[in-house]
Amino acid sequence: MTAPALAAICHYDLLGYPDPLCVRPGEQVRIHVSSEKGATRYHAELVRLICGDDTPGGPGVQEARVPGVADHRIQGRRQALHIGSFGMMIPPATTFDATADFTVACRILPTTPAHGVPQTIMARHDAVTGRGWRLGLNADGVPVAELGGITLRGARPLLAGCWYALVLTHDANDATARLVVQALRPFPAGPTGGSWTADIGPVDASGLPLTFAAQGSDPAALLRGIASTHFNGKIEAPCIFARALDPAGIAALVARGLPDPMAQGLVAAWDLAQDIPGSRMVDVGLHGCHGTLVNLPTRGVTGSHFDASAMAWPDRPAHFAAVHFHDDDFEDARWDADFSIDLPHDLASGVYAARLTPEDGGMVERVVFFVAAPRGKAAAPVAFLASTATYMAYANSHYAVDMAEMEPKRGLWMTIGAPEIFLNERRDLGLSPYDTHSDGSGVCYSSRLRPLFALRIMQRLWAFNADTHITEWLAAEGIPCDLITDEHLHAEGPAVLAPYRAVITGTHPEYWTTRMLDSLEAWQNEGGRLMYLGGNGFYWRTAFHPQKPWLIEVRRAESGARYWETAPGEAYHSFTGEYGGLWRRLGRSPHRYVGVGTIATGFDHSTHYRRTAAAADPRAAWIFEGVAGERIGDFGLVGGGAAGSEIDSADAGLGTPPHALIVARSEAHSRYTLLAPETMTSSIAAHNGEEHPDVHADMVFYEGPNGGAVFSVGSIAWAASLPHAGHANDVARITGNVLRRFIDPTPFPTPPWP
């Protein structure tokens, strides 16, 4: 289908998100909705979602209405989205408005100076009346200062990726203004900067808010994220003096950056190396004029003093005293809630949705959220772990459109569809950590306070939708199973896992925080039994914001399959100070927890497993009871087989236990199933057009401490084979055999050491 044809069908009438995403019975969920038509009336009801696969040949969407809860008819309205980050503060009049003389200064590194639109760096300015002052760049990237209807303009555009000092002074007595631009690390024989002056009378900025990296004159609007002329780039050491510095004072300030807090006439100086995990701009001056960062600009980034002598911002914060602003940053849609759902105290845990049905017959919207079991209680001996951090990481990704190499011949189920077209047109819905910002820098953060297409029922079996094959199979088999979530596991630790004898992962539990991994390890050491029914799991270290649980952070340091690379010196999470990247690179490879780890990726087709000799070992033979053939899973909804998409293999050198049994191994992958980057130390190891001998998924079983055990399939495609032939297939039989044995309280015996 052509792009214009797709565009004609990719309109979504209702868009919504829940807050919170992860709840428990008896708690409340607020549902925030925008009607894209502006006035759609809709019916809202609560449903339990059993299956979210609406692909041709799949089980179909399966849901059950929860009677007596959230039965509403609501008049919708369009709610706006405002993207782009900036800083702001409401200046105290007694401090900021006491004199007409002032100096404004900062250091900047522009990333898109010639952006075709003006960009603001610092301002107290009313764009309508022209009152106040503004320091920024014009559409061509030339530094400009606007004061009293006069514009001071530099001589040439700034270079992207270079540090500059900017200083603006105004002397009311002389009625003059001066703009100074100085390159901090000029190229040999290149321009170093200059100074420009103009005759300018009184400048009145009284009562106007102070903004950084954007402008706006209405404080209430700024707090809602509404600003204009956003700046792409880094800002460091912004400061304001209540006097016009002379040339010697300007030169000293340019050389120093952040001024002495006791400097004469200093009104405020913001040290952006402080409170890096937070959203404050800390004023180190005497007046405590702290600012607020809006819409989540990137912190923990290198500043003008960075010299690679320290690569971690907690070790030398002064080298990371910058904030990277983007015109497409996003934290919170800030929509009003249309209605709330008070969950019954006896509501069963599971996947739920507010089902929104337009009265005019438009497309149904399901606002998905997760209801975990009551804290410390279990209604079943087994729990399904919903990978909410992974769902957030994929969020509203755009790589299917943005990356030319994601072409159909290499990705039969990665082709562009209506959701991708819609997201491409609606970039104001925010980006994902698989995207890059408009200036080319990687997206580190993701927020759940917006409509998340990764949680939408759509014809793509990935992450959430693929995971519902497991919940559908459990329901079809009549196996009681609680639901728990990443977010609860991170917030509450091992207590979330403690009530359960067995835990089932989803198809792609890729993003894990340190506390999540610590909690899993502690539970396993106490005898927990883990069924890893996916691939590419436990891969990227992730961080939740310490005060804002709706935010996650990913720094893609070193190696790994990634769509952008962390800049030098920016590999440490701003939320936690932890080094980012692959858990494998951090010495905690997934092999230690599930016996396998990522080996290869291929999106053209999936294949089957073949039993190994170890399948007959008495320790594992029960896994295959009722399974007749040697080939397993030569069918499925993802590529036609149970082994594919992203696959994992065992590796004793990376932590697969020596007593682990590889009971089956996949075979016959295509030459487009490529080794993961971290598995290679040289391009010589890459494919030569034939199947690589290391490219296979391993099905692994082994016993753990205190009667526990692990069963891993090492394939994202495995669960998509569960529905085949009405669940009467060997993939479902093996999964059921393992689950029933894992639920059985009989301890697994300690195996003989090999």
Whether residue 260 lies inside any domain: the answer is yes
Which residues, in sequence order, are CB contacts of 191 under 8 Å at separation 6+?
A: 155, 156, 183
Which residues, in sequence order, are CB contacts of 95 under 8 Å at separation 6+?
A: 267, 268, 287, 289
Whether residue 198 lies inside any domain: the answer is yes
Whether residue 750 lies inside any domain: the answer is no
CA separation for the pair 154, 132 (Å, rounded): 20
Is the pLDDT confidence value at 741 over 90? Answer: yes
Last residue of a domain, one of 325, 359, 378: 325
Whether residue 206 lies inside any domain: the answer is yes
Is the pLDDT confidence value at 621 over 90? Answer: yes
Is the pLDDT confidence value at 630 over 80? Answer: yes
Q: What is the pLDDT of residue 2?
A: 44
pTM across the whole model = 0.95
Whether residue 606 lies inside any domain: the answer is yes
Is the pLDDT confidence value at 746 over 50? Answer: yes
Whether the Cβ atoms of residue 234 and residue 247 lie closer than 8 Å to each other: no
Confidence of residue 8 (pLDDT cuts 50, 70, 90): very low
Q: Which residues of 145-157 are buried (b: 16+ CB within 10 A; e: fewer)?
A: bbbbeeebebeeb
The arithmetic mean of pLDDT across residues 484-488, rounded, is 97
Place of tokens 């925080």: 513
Instruction: Give me 72's structure tokens.
Output: 């509403």
DSSP label at 61?
E
Place of tokens 């399939």: 713
* Per-residue CA distances from 129 to 117, 125, 152, 406, 588 (Å): 20, 9, 18, 48, 58
Q: DSSP per residue over 413-431, as a string?
A: TS---HHHHHHHH-GGG--
Model pLDDT for residues 140-191, shown as the tens digit of each residue: 999 999 998 899 999 999 999 999 999 999 999 999 999 999 999 888 877 7
Which residues, in sequence order, are CB contacts of 399 under 8 Å at separation 6+?
A: 406, 434, 435, 563
Query: What 3-state class would DSSP assign to 705?
Result: helix
Residue 172 sits in a domain of what CATH number?
2.60.120.200
Last residue of a domain, one of 297, 325, 353: 325
The dihedral of CA 454, 456, 462, 466: what is its sign?
positive
Model pLDDT for residues 494-514, shown as the tens digit of each residue: 999 999 999 999 999 999 999
Length of the chain measured in residues = 754
Last residue of a domain, one of 301, 325, 349: 325
Whether residue 56 lies inside any domain: the answer is no
CA separation for the pair 619, 180 (Å, rounded): 76
Conformation bin of residue 318: beta by default, left when phi > 0, alpha when psi is -120 to 50: alpha
Domain containing 191 equals 86-325
Whether residue 505 lies inside any domain: the answer is no
Query: What 3-state class would DSSP assign to 268?
Result: strand
Whether residue 160 lies inside any domain: the answer is yes
Q: What is the pLDDT of residue 190?
A: 75
Confidence of residue 563 (pLDDT cuts 50, 70, 90): confident
* Per-residue CA distances from 160 to 157, 459, 528 (Å): 9, 41, 53
Model pLDDT for residues 234-282, shown as the tens digit of each residue: 999 999 999 999 999 999 999 999 999 999 999 999 999 999 999 999 9
CA separation for the pair 255, 258 (Å, rounded): 9
Pairing type for strands 86-89 and 102-110 reads: unpaired
Number of structural domains found in the chain? 2
